[in-house]
């Protein structure tokens, strides 16, 4: 079952011809708070370029440091179907994508100037400031889309493309104009995203009560009898790590040092996801003066920072999600910068997806396989009587010590490349 899924997945990867992209990082001082395209452009010689289905250039503005950082590389597909340059949620991040050889230069990307999108009126409200966001729409803002955040009880406007459609891996975000894109996803209790983006042209589509009722009906109560359970964990480190982070119980030293007992758990949703990033963009002071205010020269850089988010995802319609993986790479050896996958079977969101290797888990221990042959509803079973299914899940999480240590050499190798 699991095997079939991956074979099917492999054959459905679109066969786009590969192109060469510049793979580099540069930084510059901002001009009036904006990126200076002339000083923030880099190219790489052919032997240092990466190969992908598309090229990207990402601009990150660090306003208080008056510094912009531009990172370039390769990507497996166009996030949310975006071509050209666009703000990502706010004016400090611009993402550009193109698909011709060496197209990720400022010339070919129109000096990173975002293209125009339709704008809409939205409700704006911030419950952190003590506002009552449930009683209608007292203040308005104008943006390219409206946002409702149920966790923080916030309403507002976003610029450019929201992050949600690229997280959901939809093909063409612009086709969803006038529609709601709503989700609830979590990787651990402290990492919950619960909200909607919408673009209805008549405006004010993010009014709290209306969106809340929509979310309840179309996200939280949708397909409740047909959910998948997924691994759930968050792990951050400055050093590469392997699949040991999926084991349920923390080691003795982790318990002592970090006061954690569990490394991972499970949750259920319409889909499972796994997301790995391997670096972060930072700016640091170019000199060593003591007071931060005295610093005026900053250097932009990428440094290793590994973050794994693994969890379950609910969404307001299976048409708003595409299973598979999006991967960003750099350099001539395809070093992975980020990899994000969505899958739709029990416990499918295991480490092998982001490592790009075969599933090392013993097949019999993968509960999804067993349960499809029985007439029991796996999720009900799990949520109503944890013991029954947890044995299966535990055998995956804790079992297979021998298998894991046998592949640990491979894991270490793979992470050298990451």
**Which residues contribute to the site for ligand NAG (CB under 6 A)?**
47-48, 134-136, 209, 331-332
Cβ proximity to ligand NAG: between 44 and 86 the closer is 44
Q: CA 343 to CA 322: how far, in whole Å? A: 9
User: Under a CB-based contact definition with an 8 Å cutoff, are residues 276 and 237 in contact?
Assistant: no
Cβ proximity to ligand NAG: between 100 and 135 the closer is 135
Least separation in angstroms between residue 47's CB and ligand NAG is: 3
Cβ proximity to ligand NAG: between 205 and 321 the closer is 205
User: Under a CB-based contact definition with an 8 Å cutoff, are residues 337 and 277 in contact?
Assistant: yes
At residue 335's C-alpha, the angle toward residues 331 and 341, to 5°, is 130
CA 16 to chain centre: 23
**Closest residue to ligand NAG, Cβ-based?**
47
Cβ proximity to ligand NAG: between 18 and 135 the closer is 135
Q: Which of 336, 180, 308 lies closest to 233 in space, CA to CA?
A: 308
Least separation in angstroms between residue 13's CB and ligand NAG is: 25
Cβ proximity to ligand NAG: between 47 and 373 the closer is 47
Least separation in angstroms between residue 279's CB and ligand NAG is: 15
User: Under a CB-based contact definition with an 8 Å cutoff, are residues 13 and 77 in contact?
Assistant: no
Q: Phi/psi class of residue 177: alpha, beta or left (left: φ > 0; alpha: ψ in -120 to 50)? A: beta
Question: In this structure, what token pair is assigned to residue 309?
Answer: 């988010």
Cβ proximity to ligand NAG: between 99 and 207 the closer is 207
Least separation in angstroms between residue 335's CB and ligand NAG is: 10
Least separation in angstroms between residue 207's CB and ligand NAG is: 7
Q: CA 256 to CA 330: how far, in whole Å? A: 37
User: Under a CB-based contact definition with an 8 Å cutoff, are residues 250 and 244 in contact?
Assistant: no
Least separation in angstroms between residue 252's CB and ligand NAG is: 41
Least separation in angstroms between residue 216's CB and ligand NAG is: 11
Provide φ and ψ at 88, rounded to 5°: -110, 95
At residue 128's C-alpha, the angle toward residues 127 and 132, to 5°, is 25
Q: CB neighbours of 127 closer than 8 A, spacing ≥ 6? A: 133, 152, 153, 154
Cβ proximity to ligand NAG: between 34 and 153 the closer is 153
């Amino acid at each position: 079952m699991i095997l079939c899924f991956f074979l099917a997945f492999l054959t459905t990867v679109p066969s786009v011809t590969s192109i060469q992209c510049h793979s580099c990082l540069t930084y510059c001082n901002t001009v009036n708070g904006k990126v200076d395209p002339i000083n923030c452009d880099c190219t790489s010689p052919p032997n240092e370029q990466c190969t992908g289905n598309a090229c990207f250039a990402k601009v990150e503005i660090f306003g208080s440091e008056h510094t912009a950082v531009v990172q370039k590389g390769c990507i497996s597909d166009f996030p949310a179907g975006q071509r050209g340059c666009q703000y990502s949620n706010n004016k400090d991040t611009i993402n550009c994508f193109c698909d011709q050889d060496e197209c990720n230069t400022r010339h070919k990307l129109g000096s990173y100037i975002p293209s125009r999108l339709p704008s809409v009126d939205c409700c704006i409200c911030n419950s952190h400031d003590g506002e009552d966001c449930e009683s209608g729409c007292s203040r308005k803002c104008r943006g390219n889309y409206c946002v409702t955040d149920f966790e923080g009880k916030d309403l507002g406007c976003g610029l450019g493309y929201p992050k949600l459609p690229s997280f959901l891996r939809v093909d063409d975000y612009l086709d969803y104009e006038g529609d709601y894109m709503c989700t609830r996803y979590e990787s651990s209790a402290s990492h919950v995203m619960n909200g909607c983006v919408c673009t209805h042209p008549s405006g004010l589509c993010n009014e709290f009560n209306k969106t809340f009722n929509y979310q309840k009906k179309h996200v939280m109560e949708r397909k409740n009898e047909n959910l998948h359970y997924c691994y759930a964990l968050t792990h951050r480190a400055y050093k590469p790590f392997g699949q040991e982070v999926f084991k349920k119980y923390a080691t003795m030293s982790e318990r002592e040092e970090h006061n954690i007992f569990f490394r991972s758990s499970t949750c259920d949703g319409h889909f499972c996801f796994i997301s790995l990033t391997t670096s972060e963009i930072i700016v640091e002071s170019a000199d060593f003066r003591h007071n931060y205010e005295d610093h005026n020269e900053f250097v932009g850089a990428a440094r290793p920072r590994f973050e794994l988010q693994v969890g379950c995802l609910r969404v307001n319609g299976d048409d708003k999600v595409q299973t598979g993986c999006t991967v960003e790479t750099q350099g001539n050896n395809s070093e992975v910068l980020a990899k994000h996958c969505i899958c739709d079977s029990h416990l499918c969101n295991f480490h092998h997806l982001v490592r790009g290797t075969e599933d090392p888990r013993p097949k019999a221990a993968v509960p999804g396989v067993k349960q499809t042959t029985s007439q029991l509803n796996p999720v009900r079973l799990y949520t109503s009587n944890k013991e029954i299914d947890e044995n299966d899940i535990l055998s995956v999480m804790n079992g297979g010590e021998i298998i894991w240590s046998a592949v640990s050499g491979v894991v270490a190798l793979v992470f050298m490349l990451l």
